[in-house]
Amino acid sequence: MKTLVISGATRGIGKAIAERFAKEGINVAFTYNSNEEVAKILEKEWSKKYNIKAKAYKLNILEPQTYKDLFKQIDEDFDRVDFFISNAIISGRAVVGGFGPFMRLKPKGICNIFTATVNAFVVGAQESAKRMQKTGGGVILSLSSTGNLVYTPNYAGHGVSKAAVETMVKYAACELGKFNIRVNAISGGPIDTDALRAFPNYEQIKAEVEKISPLNRMGYPEDLAGMAYFLCSEEASWITGQTFIIDGGTTFGCKE
């Protein structure tokens, strides 16, 4: 049975992706930061409901080097790694100085966002690739956002890190292809999650998205889960080094 490793899967986009893979009969190794109680509930729920093995692991995404120890734990619980999805994000105090107007940005906040987005992807992908080589290949994905394409108030720190991780995806794809490992990114428009609701201008963002999207709504986590599963399937076997935009038409600004 194949195994997915995904960071940050106790809520929002990560949870939707993990459950989609579980529905398809794929084992799920997922991380959490502070929601241990929720993680344990999901372990039991997914294992029983979908007849797969699900196990949660604590991970501080601001310490990406700990991925190495995390994967050693995963090795003890699962016999292979087929898919890795870098999804976890940071919020709260960790992004102070990184989330805000340009003139208020601070190096520490920007560095924290970069660490959680780019460095964590790199280390997690490296550890995954080592294991994928042993089983003939696999798929690596990074979650991104359209905040690096369209101006979003207070989002400069995040937007720049998303642009960086999308470029890192291309480099990883070029170098890992010889091992039959495909690497892609999924760039979501504003998705209605707890993380977005924590933004002080959430209501403004929601109203603006509903206004400019021809579909008249924000995106849902499940809107990204389908693309994640497709990119990990054999139907996407010749797709690598790409970023797929799932934005409800908001990036182009379709509405008149």
The pLDDT of residue 195 is: 73
Residues 184-220 have pLDDT tens digits of 999 999 899 877 787 777 888 888 888 889 999 999 9
- From the list 40, 46, 30, the residue with the least C-alpha distance to 124 is 30
User: Is residue 159 scored above 70 in pLDDT?
Assistant: yes
User: Is residue 253 scored above 80 in pLDDT?
Assistant: no
* Relative orientation angle of helices 156-176 and 107-114, to the nearest 10 degrees: 30
The pLDDT of residue 206 is: 87
Strand partners, 245: 187
- From the list 141, 43, 37, 23, the residue with the least C-alpha distance to 88 is 141
Whole-number average pLDDT of the chain:
95
Give the percent of the chain with pLDDT over 90. 84
Instruction: Quote the DSSP letter at residue 217.
Output: S
Residues 92-150 have pLDDT tens digits of 889 999 999 999 999 999 999 999 999 999 999 999 999 999 999 999 999 999 999 99
**Which residue type sits at 187?**
S
The pLDDT of residue 209 is: 87
> What's the angle, vertex CA 211, arms to CA 210 and CA 216, rounded to 5?
45
Read out DSSP for 97-155? TTSS-GGG--HHHHHHHHIIIIIHHHHHHHHHHHHHHHTT-EEEEEEEEGGGTS--TT-
Of the pLDDT bands very low, low, confident and very high (cuts 50, 70, 90), residue 26 is very high
Q: Which long-range contacts (CB under 8 A, 24 or more apart) does 168-172 make?
A: 168/118, 168/121, 168/122, 168/142, 169/121, 169/142, 169/241, 169/243, 170/241, 172/125, 172/140
The pLDDT of residue 215 is: 92
The pLDDT of residue 255 is: 61
The pLDDT of residue 254 is: 65
Fold of 3-246: Rossmann fold (3.40.50)
CA 182, CA 70: separation in Å to the nearest integer? 22
- Residues marked as catalytic: 155, 162
Give the SS3 label for residue 224: helix
